[in-house]
């Protein structure tokens, strides 16, 4: 790897930090267990000017989900469950509102966000996983479809894996993950405990942008309750390289889960983009300049993260940022591109250009909502589609008759139709948003 290549990468990182007001970022790259690059940029604490380094602790947000699935696969390897087991085999009280055949939802549906459960209001005050079963069973909602029919990111369904882990092992979820994954891999600066975080040094301060001033403001670490199963790990990029070594056969003497089980995590389960699929808690690009790109990102209060690997090259890359809604994925992909010798801006795919008729656009226009919070609006202004989301407006373009693309970042939004002429849902932010009635 030439210094010139990493210099170009670092210039990109510094530019993005200035553009997005990123307080601090840590990046690490390894190949078959050998560290190729690691560096911290910016500050862990803007007040004290404490610098970031590869040992700085950040939130991992939804990168945590792959730890949960790895834990489930370990139980499968031991013969204690099967991925096609009905959920109610292990959680007899499990039920979804409106689903007649409760045994049609399997463990794999939980792992791949394909249960049919729509986004639900976030209930962080629920602190016992058994209680979350009652919450899901007692809520009123309309299922998106049959299990396996649609993909929609759903933390509430995903975290039921934590309940299964606790039932089968008689351990708290966080203790099982710590004992079976974190400790054997030497991930000693990784924890689910805010009490432990308070005892550590070199811990990043979480930040969020003030919606009115645009300035960064320090925020407390969020108390997640049961949602720690999907986003509660705090870690470092160095520790995440140790975790990644399990996937690519790097220098680790500890057996965590067999290779044949881990490879199941990046087998495509559901297509979520033009060249993007979701497996088991991991995104999959089957052909990224001739290799497989496997990753997962996360975003929480004060956290942006992205972690992933290129199995054929033994490559593992981790990016952690101490602020919400930052371009962790774009920076992660630039690090991958640098290592593979690709242009920095090389992307997963390009959305084509399509001249949509006014009639086609009008079928997409409307307000769509998510019970997880908020709504999005698609309007047509002088023939141009406009997205309004979180008090911001974005110009859109069409890439086919049922897909609009946000021009600013080229992110696609796919619309779904049933019997009506109007779209009934839009896939945005990895979630299905349904048309407001």
Mean pLDDT, rounded, of the chain: 95
* pLDDT beyond 60 at 75: yes
pLDDT at 1 over 50: no
Q: Are 415 and 404 in contact (CB under 8 A)?
A: yes
Q: Which residues contact 286 (CB under 8 A, 6 or more apart)?
A: 268, 275, 277, 292
HSE, CB side, 13 Å, CA atoms: give it for residue 14: 7
C-alpha span between 86 and 102 (Å, rounded): 8
Overall size of the chain counted in residues: 437
CA–CA gap between residue 160 and residue 229 (Å, rounded)? 8
Please write the tens of the pLDDT for every residue from 173-190: 999 999 999 999 999 999
Mean pLDDT of 396-416: 95
The more confidently predicted of residues 437 and 414 is 414
pLDDT beyond 70 at 108:
yes
Cβ–Cβ under 8 Å, residues 216 and 204: no
Q: What is the mean pLDDT of residues 125-153?
A: 95
Residue carrying the six token digits 């004992």: 179
Q: Give me the pLDDT at residue 232, please.
A: 98
Question: Is the pLDDT assigned to residue 3 strictly greater than 90?
Answer: no
- What are 217-266's pLDDT values in tens digits? 999 999 999 999 999 999 999 999 999 999 998 656 678 999 999 999 99
pLDDT-derived band at 2 (thresholds 50, 70, 90) equals: very low
- Could you read off the pLDDT of 265-276 as tens digits, one per residue? 999 999 999 999
Number of Cβ within a 10 Å radius of residue 83: 18
CB 25 within 8 A of CB 13: yes
Instruction: State the pLDDT at residue 268.
Output: 97
pLDDT of residue 330: 95
pLDDT of residue 5: 79
Residue 437: partners with Cβ closer than 8 Å, 6 or more residues away: none
CB 72 within 8 A of CB 46: no
| CA gap 404, 360 in Å, rounded | 11
């Amino acid at each position: 790897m030439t210094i010139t290549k990493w210099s170009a990468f670092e210039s990109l990182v510094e530019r993005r930090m200035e553009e997005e007001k990123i307080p601090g970022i840590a990046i690490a790259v390894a190949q078959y267990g050998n560290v190729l690059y690691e560096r911290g940029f910016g500050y862990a604490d803007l007040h004290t000017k404490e610098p970031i380094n590869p040992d700085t602790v950040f939130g991992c947000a939804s990168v945590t989900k792959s730890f949960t699935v790895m834990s489930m696969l370990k139980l499968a390897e031991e013969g204690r469950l099967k991925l096609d087991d009905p959920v109610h085999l292990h959680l007899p009280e499990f039920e979804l509102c409106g689903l007649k055949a409760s045994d049609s939802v399997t463990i794999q549906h939980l792992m791949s966000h394909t249960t049919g459960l729509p986004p639900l209001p976030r209930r962080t005050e629920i602190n016992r996983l058994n209680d979350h079963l009652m919450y899901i069973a007692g809520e009123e909602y309309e299922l998106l479809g049959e299990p396996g029919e649609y993909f929609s990111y759903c933390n509430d369904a995903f975290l039921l894996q934590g309940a299964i882990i606790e039932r089968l092992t008689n351990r708290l979820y966080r203790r099982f993950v710590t004992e079976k994954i974190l400790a054997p891999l030497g991930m000693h600066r990784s924890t689910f405990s805010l009490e432990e975080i308070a005892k550590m040094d070199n811990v990043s301060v979480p930040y969020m942008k003030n919606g009115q001033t645009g300035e960064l403001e320090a925020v407390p670490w969020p108390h997640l309750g049961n949602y720690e199963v999907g986003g509660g790990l705090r870690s470092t990029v160095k520790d995440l390289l140790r975790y990644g070594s399990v996937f690519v056969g790097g220098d680790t003497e500890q057996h965590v889960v067999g290779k044949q089980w881990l490879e199941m995590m990046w087998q495509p389960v559901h297509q979520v983009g033009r060249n993007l699929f979701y497996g088991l808690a991991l995104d999959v690009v089957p052909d990224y300049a001739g290799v497989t790109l496997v990753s997962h990102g996360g975003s929480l209060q004060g956290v942006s993260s992205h972690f992933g690997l290129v199995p054929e090259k033994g490559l593992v890359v981790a990016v952690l940022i101490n602020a919400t809604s930052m371009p962790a994925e774009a920076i992660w992909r630039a690090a991958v591109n640098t290592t593979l010798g690709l242009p920095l801006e090389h992307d997963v795919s390009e959305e084509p250009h399509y001249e949509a008729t006014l009639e086609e656009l009008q079928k997409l226009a409307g307000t769509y909502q998510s019970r997880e919070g908020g709504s999005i609006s698609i309007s047509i202004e002088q023939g141009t589609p406009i997205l309004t989301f979180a008090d911001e407006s974005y110009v859109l373009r069409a890439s086919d008759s049922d897909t609009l693309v946000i021009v600013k970042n080229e992110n696609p939004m796919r619309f779904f139709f049933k019997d009506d002429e109007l779209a009934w849902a839009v896939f945005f932010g990895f979630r299905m948003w349904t048309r407001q009635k």
